[in-house]
Every structure is written in C-alpha cells, then in structure tokens.
C-alpha cells in the first residue's frame, strides 16, 4: 500500500545535528513501514552483533546518554527504532532532515529458527528494500571483525540495486581493548574486505571509552546522509531515489518477506572503493 509522505524535502544546505536526535517511532514488521509516521528523509542505519557496542556508539554520536538504550527496552529489542535528527539551520528554521535507525542486534548463538526467520524478514528486508536508506554503520568489535554473522548482513546489503549510491561504514568498536598492532591488524582485515565489496565502504577504529574516532564517525554519518540529498529528480524536485517511493520505500504491496530472496542470491562484485 502506498501512503503519502509527511513532508518531502528538496536538497538542504544544512547538516544533520545528531545531538538533536529524538525517538520517532518503532516498527515491528516491514509491511508496517508504509504506514509509519515517518517523513521522506534519508536514513542511516546502525547494525551490529549483540554486544558489539552499537547502542553506546549511537548514544555517543547523539550525545544522549540513554537514547539508543530506549531501543533495548522490553518490546523494542526486535524492532526497527527510528530517531529523527534535525538540521543545523538557525533555531527558528530547524526541521527534521534525517533518521538514525537502530536495528535489532544479531548473532546470538542460540537463536531459534523462528526468531532467525523473523530477523531476516525485518532486518534483511529493510536493508535490501528500503529506498530511503542511504547507508549503514556496521558496528563490529575490533577484536572480532567480519564474523560470519556480519557477512550475512553485508550479503543483504549487496543485493540492493543502488549500491553505487549506497555507503557502508565499518565501525571497529572497543578499540581501547586492543593494542596498537591488533588495532592495525583489525583495520587492515576490514579494509581488505571493504575493497572486495561492490559499494563504497569505509573503515575506522572507534572507542566510546576514550572517544577515539568520534569526529570521524560524526563526519562520515553526516556525509552519508547529505549524499542522500545530492541529486534532485527533475520531474518532482524530490531527492533522486525517493521520487518513486512516497513514504520511504517499503514494499509496495505491503508483503514484507515473501518476495525477498535470501542473502547470497546475488554475489558481491569486484570492489570499487576501499576507504
């Protein structure tokens, strides 16, 4: 089902002000996205294995101590949680310019088949189909980057048809827990993987404990979202890629999972950009 978007925006001269982030809505099923009260704005999703440090990274980026932990409150852990971010226009003119989306964690060893299927339909489907999604920050523990569960997630992204305009950012978290050499090795491993991927992919070390890499994360996140406004569609004046999808690009027939092939259906092509 198609739904009119709340407010469309043309190219903006302003940048996202992450510290303005406010909880907007949660969505438990992909099919419900079309009816969610979300404006047609670029989205940046944070994903990661459970305990990788995703919530801590979002909280640090937004300078809100418990923002993303609201995604961990009972009932919300298996939902897509949207946080609206305002731009940095003069105060009277500020408006929402983007969403940060906190996705359910994955990689629990004892996940049952039903939970797994649900995660695939919701998170896999969102990563694969969501047109408003401009990029993903993949949070991985610097001591264990690029595990099979992370690769499954990457495989979902690799099947998008807009990869040239899509960004993946690998955030190697808890860098304070590794020495210099181990940190460099983790970075090198992730960079090698990034070079193989078909979408522009960047990699950085990050520590919430000593704030290492926070500026780089903030700049990269802003850049990904601003690129969402880069091209205007000539016919509609709306940002390219949004014109065909009124709200946000859930499946038009509202059938979230059934038409969605599993990860690996299209193998990643040769790499285009390492960092």
174 binds ligand GDP (CB under 6 A): yes
Nearest partner of 190 among 213, 208, 210, judged by Cα: 213
Q: How far apart are CA 199 and CA 266, in angstroms?
A: 13
In the complex, the smallest distance separating the C-beta of residue 207 from ligand GDP, rounded to whole angstroms, is: 4
105 binds ligand GDP (CB under 6 A): yes
CB 82, CB 26: distance < 8 Å:
yes
Q: How far apart are CA 273 and CA 165, in angstroms?
A: 12
Nearest partner of 204 among 161, 240, 167, 230, judged by Cα: 167
CA distances from 41 to 132, 142, 181, 242, 244 (A): 6, 31, 40, 8, 13
53 binds ligand GDP (CB under 6 A): yes
Nearest partner of 47 among 118, 136, 133, 151, judged by Cα: 136
User: Applying CB under 6 A, which part among 1-9, 174-182, 216-224, 247-255 lies near ligand GDP?
Assistant: 174-182
50 binds ligand GDP (CB under 6 A): yes
Q: Which residue number, 81 or 260, has a Cβ lying nearer to ligand GDP?
A: 81
User: Applying CB under 6 A, which part among 75-83, 89-97, 171-179, 222-230 lies near ligand GDP?
Assistant: 171-179
Q: Is 191 helix (H, G, I), strand (E, B) or coil?
A: helix
Site size toward ligand GDP, by CB under 6 A: 16
Nearest partner of 205 among 167, 175, 182, judged by Cα: 175
The distance of Cα 140 from the centroid of its chain, to the nearest Å, equals 14
Binding ligand GDP (rule: CB under 6 A), the pick from 3, 25, 177, 223 is 177
Q: How far apart are CA 225 and CA 87, in angstroms?
A: 11
Binding ligand GDP (rule: CB under 6 A), the pick from 208, 221, 222, 256 is 208
55 binds ligand GDP (CB under 6 A): yes
User: Applying CB under 6 A, which part among 17-25, 157-165, 172-180, 243-251 lies near ligand GDP?
Assistant: 172-180
User: Applying CB under 6 A, which part among 19-27, 153-161, 202-210, 244-252 lies near ligand GDP?
Assistant: 202-210
Q: Which residue number, 68 or 97, has a Cβ lying nearer to ligand GDP?
A: 68
Residue ranges in contact with ligand GDP by CB under 6 A? 48, 50-56, 105, 173-174, 176-177, 207-209
């Amino acid at each position: 089902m198609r739904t009119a978007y709340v407010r469309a925006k043309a190219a903006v001269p302003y940048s996202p002000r992450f510290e303005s982030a406010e909880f907007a809505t949660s969505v438990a099923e992909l099919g419900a996205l079309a009816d969610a009260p979300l404006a047609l704005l670029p989205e940046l999703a944070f994903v990661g294995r459970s305990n990788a440090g995703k919530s801590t990274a979002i909280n640090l980026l937004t300078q809100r101590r418990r923002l993303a932990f609201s995604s961990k409150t009972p009932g919300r852990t298996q939902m897509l949680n949207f946080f609206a971010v305002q731009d940095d226009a003069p105060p009277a003119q500020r408006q929402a310019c983007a969403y940060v989306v906190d996705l359910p964690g994955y990689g629990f060893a004892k996940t049952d088949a039903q939970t797994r299927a649900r995660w695939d339909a919701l998170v896999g489907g969102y990563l694969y189909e969501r047109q408003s999604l401009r990029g993903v920050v993949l949070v991985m523990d610097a001591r264990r980057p690029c595990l099979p569960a992370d690769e499954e997630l990457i495989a979902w992204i690799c099947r998008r048809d807009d990869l040239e305009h899509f960004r993946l950012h690998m955030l190697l978290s808890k860098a304070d827990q590794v020495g210099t050499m181990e940190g460099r090795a983790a970075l090198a491993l992730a960079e090698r993987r990034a070079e193989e991927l078909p979408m522009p992919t960047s990699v950085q070390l990050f520590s919430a404990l000593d704030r290492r890499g926070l500026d780089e994360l903030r700049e990269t996140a802003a850049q990904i979202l601003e690129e969402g406004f880069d091209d205007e569609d000539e016919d509609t004046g709306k940002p390219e890629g949004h014109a065909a999808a009124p709200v946000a690009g859930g499946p038009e027939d509202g059938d979230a999972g059934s038409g969605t092939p599993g990860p690996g259906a299209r193998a990643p092509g040769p790499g285009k950009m390492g960092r």
